[in-house]
Amino acid sequence: MNSVNYALTYSYVHGKSAMKNLAQNTKKRVEEFKNDESGMEIIAVVLILIIVIALAVVFRKAIGNLFVQLWASVSKALKGETDTVNAGTASKIGDAF
């Protein structure tokens, strides 16, 4: 017999005190449930992931262009080629300091 059926049977036999205890226990369990914060870290991580994914979707073209330029730059550096435009800009920036 589950606890609710037991409490109802007990209350029928012993009067209103069992129903009062059942109500108090139920109220106590509801309060414990409302104050329970376990699992909040998971919710926070999921919300952060949703935000990151939304930003990635919004800026996907800019992110894609950035990776294409980065890949091209790394490929040129590995082949030994230099980019004259970037080299000239880098020397001007170095002269400023």
15-34 pLDDT tens trace: 667 667 788 888 888 888 88
In this structure, what token pair is assigned to residue 3? 């606890």
Expressed as residue numbers, the domain containing 8 is 3-35
The span from the CA of 25 to the CA of 43, in Å, is 29
Same domain, 58 and 20: no
Domains contained in the chain, number = 2
**Using 50, 70 and 90 to split pLDDT, how confident is the model at 61?**
very high
pLDDT of residue 7 exceeding 70: no
Structure token digits, residue 22: 């059942």
Give the pLDDT of residue 53.
Answer: 95
User: What is the model's pTM?
Assistant: 0.40
Residue 16: per-residue pLDDT = 64
